[in-house]
Structure 1
Amino acid sequence: MESSRPHFKLVLGSSSIARRSVLTDMGYQFTLMSADIDEKSIRKEKPEDLVLALAEAKAEAIMQRIPDDDDDIKEALLVTCDQVVVYENTIREKPSSVEEAREYIRGYSKGHTATVSSVVVTNLKTGFRKGGVDRVEIYFNEISEEIIEKLIEEGMVLKVAGALLIEHPLISPCVKEVVGTTDSVMGLPKELTEKLLKEASSST
């Protein structure tokens, strides 16, 4: 299978360790660039519209930072992403405080939430850009106060949308069911990413 994969240079426009891990797992080599944008300045009613708009804004910001003489990057495909958690029809981004993170995780206990992830691929040579969205439903058993406090103390949950880390060793035993794929919950749905990379690499 690997030999049929088209060869192209890849830039991952994200500082997320989870996304880096998923893309590496997919067998790609890539360069990292991160976009520094004011995410709060972009607002949309629907989570799907919001994550797409944010991923596109990140692509624009990164493109402006590419040096004119960097011909290598100018031939690459740029992957940008965003993710929100949707809980009871409310969009959740990264928690703004420890208390908010605690409240978020408590709400998942014996409950249900969803992740909405976007992927946007830009062909930096041709200007072709295409994006898509993937949604995953997650159902939980009870999450004890002890586990919540350990997660807060460790701090990783403060850095992710909705304070949600289902692949974390403390949380994974509390997950009852995932309707969708774990890679999508980690912020980079493999199937969607592969499809968009294929389309962008063949654009002229």
Structure 2
Amino acid sequence: MNLVLASNSPRRRQLLTDLGLHYTVRLQEVDESYPEHLRRAEVAEYLAAYKAAAYRATLAPDEVVLTADTIVCLDDDVLNKPADPAEAVRMLQRLQGRSHDVFTGVCLLTGTGQQVVFSDQTRVYFRSLSDSEIEFYVRQYQPLDKAGAYGAQDWIGMVAVTRLEGSYFNVMGLPVHRVWEELTKLAGTDLLPH
């Protein structure tokens, strides 16, 4: 089974590398809009499956593509990647002093048409932040490629995240414990190097 990662995220690449998995990266532009009636985890799972569908025709029988989408939910509002620094500041102002949920949807699609879609949820607690802390983070770290305008592994994660309920790696963009489990099932054997 040859793993194909369909993601440009350096964090997802690092997590798969740290798991000891061998993979190739294959990128394709995919629209990230979703039906308005979907809520929370449904959005992340829909987007992961939609991204995987774009690879269906190009997969060899021995390949499995991994697609993922991470969203931040404040109540029922989905906070995707901010369009510009001003929107990033507004998002972080909304998140500070509150808890929110991070959902990562994952789709594993094999070249033979087998598909597994799942998601993982982590609740993240932020302390109250000053406007100058938020503006510093956005200026220094340019979090425009991150759902909710922040990366838990960045400076803001160190100073603002007070508690997590769930997987830290899920907040980084990939629930690696579930990915390992589902890939093991698809492979029909353990994934440990021999």
TM-score after normalising by structure 1: 0.85
Q: Following the alignment from structure 2 to structure 1, what is the Cα–Cα distance between the partners of residues 9 and 128?
A: 28
Please state whether the residue corresponding to 2:8 is helix, strand or coil: coil
**Amino acid of the structure 2 residue aligned with 1:131:** V
Q: Following the alignment from structure 1 to structure 2, what is the Cα–Cα distance between the partners of residues 154 and 129?
A: 40
Question: In structure 2, what is the equivalent of residue 149 of structure 1?
Answer: 135
Match of 1:85 among 65, 72, 94: 72
Residue 62 (1) aligns with residue 55 (2):
yes
Question: Considering only aligned residues, what root-mean-square deviation do their CA atoms show, in Å?
Answer: 1.9
**Amino acid of the structure 2 residue aligned with 1:86:** C
Cα distance, 1:38 vs. partner? 1.3
Residue 94 (1) aligns with residue 81 (2):
yes
Question: In structure 2, what is the equivalent of residue 159 of structure 1?
Answer: 145
Q: Following the alignment from structure 2 to structure 1, what is the Cα–Cα distance between the partners of residues 22 and 113?
A: 21
Contact 2:143/2:150 (8 A) holds in 1: yes
Q: Following the alignment from structure 1 to structure 2, what is the Cα–Cα distance between the partners of residues 91 and 20?
A: 24
Cα distance, 1:36 vs. partner? 1.0
User: Mind listing any 5+ residue stretches in structure 1 that lack a counterpart?
Assistant: 1-7, 68-72
Contact 1:18/1:186 (8 A) holds in 2: yes
Question: In structure 2, what is the equivalent of residue 45 of structure 1?
Answer: 38
Per-residue CA deviation, residues 49-93 of structure 1 (Å, 9 max, x unaligned), is 2111111111111234x38xxxxx541121111111000221111
**Amino acid of the structure 2 residue aligned with 1:135:** Q
Identity %: 25
Q: Following the alignment from structure 1 to structure 2, what is the Cα–Cα distance between the partners of residues 161 and 42?
A: 18
Q: Following the alignment from structure 2 to structure 1, what is the Cα–Cα distance between the partners of residues 17 and 69?
A: 18
Alignment of 1:167-178 (within 5 A): 167-178=153-164
TM-score after normalising by structure 2: 0.89
Q: How many correspondences in the alignment?
A: 189
Q: Following the alignment from structure 1 to structure 2, what is the Cα–Cα distance between the partners of residues 13 and 59?
A: 8
Please state whether the residue corresponding to 2:155 is helix, strand or coil: coil
Please state whether the residue corresponding to 1:195 is helix, strand or coil: helix
